[in-house]
Amino acid sequence: MLRNVAAVVLDGVAPFELGVLCEAFGIDRSDQGLPVMDFDLCGPSRQVRTSLGFELVIEHGLERLESADLIGIPAMPRANPVPGEVLEALRAAVDRGARVLSVCSGAFVLGEAGLLDGRRCTTHWMYSAELAARFPEAKVDPGVLYVDDDPIITSAGTAAGLDASLHLWRKEFGADAAAMVARRMVVPPHRDGGQAQFIEAPIRATPARTLAAVVDYMAAHLDQDLTVDDLAALATMSPRTFARRFRAETGTTPYEWLLTARLAAAQRMLERGDDVVETVAARAGFGTAAAMRHHFAKRLGTTPQAYRAAFCHRRPASTTTA
């Protein structure tokens, strides 16, 4: 049972992500009948400077990890070397059965310790490619808010640390306890979708030397049924030659290009307009709302309705003065 939590703090630690761990596991909520964690900050140095420049006094050394059920790793500078003693302490803790939870770029610390090898994991979507390149044995999933590959839990950027922490509360103490913690923090106990919905996925800009006119036509006619045969005719090529040339000049297939462009168009309409989902689907070129829901779920891990609820730019109500 989760009762003892320690967060490792190194120079350059991100205050918000550290605060996520403190809020999730360091607050006394016994007045609500919730368990109280024995929570401490620890590290190899007794004083550290945060990424925002202010300093923290750390009361405990790394020996504090020897009794922890859960070790939190907040976001750290990805380029900073991790002291060997920290890596050894993390490996020893996992070997004896402790869990480790990283927030955002804290996953890089786990990678340096070899704790991501052969495991599914995640980090902030901006750093996922770097994480995969630096630790090729890790199975990086850039589209999720968190991954629980027990005993290693990794979360995406910033607020996703709350999602992972609430997941642990739910796993250890049940859904009711997690809901109470979430309510106290004024956050939802569970968020729809993954971080794929937060990733900007613009159409890749390419020279498209011989197909520029066709690509422009595709972008301007997303609401139409555009087949490879039709596009090849526009380019005065055979379908096979067109498909080969299109991949060479854009790096993808006509179908994938259109799908990405239509998703981006639908996202913009859902963010900025009030059209019903059926209208958005037709204008973006999906044909039906069901088809658009399918592609939103597959590519973005959410639904059009949930995406709109999360990202719609609400216009303020007009006011009048006497």
191 and 246 housed in the same domain: no
Phi, psi values for residue 179, rounded to 5°? -65, -40
Domain boundary among 195, 226, 253: 195
Q: Is residue 317 part of a domain?
A: no
**Residue 173 and residue 264 in one domain:** no
Last residue of a domain, one of 195, 229, 244: 195
Q: Choose one of 166, 195, 224: the last residue of a domain.
A: 195
Both 88 and 237 in one domain: the answer is no
E-strand ranges in the chain read: 4-8, 38-42, 47-49, 55-57, 70-73, 99-102, 120-121, 139-140, 146-149, 152-155
Q: Is the pLDDT of residue 277 over 50?
A: yes
Domain containing residue 228: 212-311
Q: Are 256 and 143 members of one domain?
A: no
Instruction: Spell out the residues 6+ positions from residue 219 whose beta carbon is closer than 8 angstroms to its own.
Output: 203, 261
104 pLDDT higher than 50: yes
Four-point Cα dihedral 254, 260, 264, 266, nearest 10? 80
What is the spatial distance between Cα 312 and Cα 272, in angstroms, rounded to a whole number?
Answer: 6
pLDDT for 152-176, tens place per residue?
999 998 889 999 999 899 889 888 8
Name the DSSP letter for residue 42. Answer: E
How is residue 1 written in tokens? 């049972």
Count how many domains the chain has: 2
In angstroms, the CA 262 to CA 179 distance is 36
Do 226 and 177 share a structural domain? no
Closest-CA residue to 238 (of 253, 224, 250, 228): 228
Residues 222 and 189 reside in one and the same domain: no
CATH number at residue 282: 1.10.10.60
Strand partners, 40: 6
Residue that the structure tokens 């490879």 belong to: 228
**Same-domain check for residues 57 and 167:** yes
Whether residue 204 is contained in a domain is answered as no
Q: Give the tens place of pLDDT for each residue, 18-64.
A: 999 999 999 999 999 999 999 999 999 999 999 999 999 999 999 99
Identify whether residues 69 and 146 lie together within a single domain.
yes
* Domain match, 188 and 225 both: no
One domain, residues 139 and 219: no
* CATH number of the CATH domain containing 27: 3.40.50.880
Give pLDDT, residue 264.
85
Q: Partners of 56 in the beta sheet?
A: 48
pLDDT at 120: 94
Handedness of CA 287, 293, 294, 296 (dihedral sign): positive
The verdict on 118 and 249 lying in the same domain is: no
Do 190 and 149 share a structural domain? yes
Provide the pLDDT confidence category of residue 208 given band limits of 50, 70 and 90. Answer: low
- What lies within 8 Å, CB to CB, of 314 at 6+ separation is none
- Whose tokens are 């011989």? That residue is 210
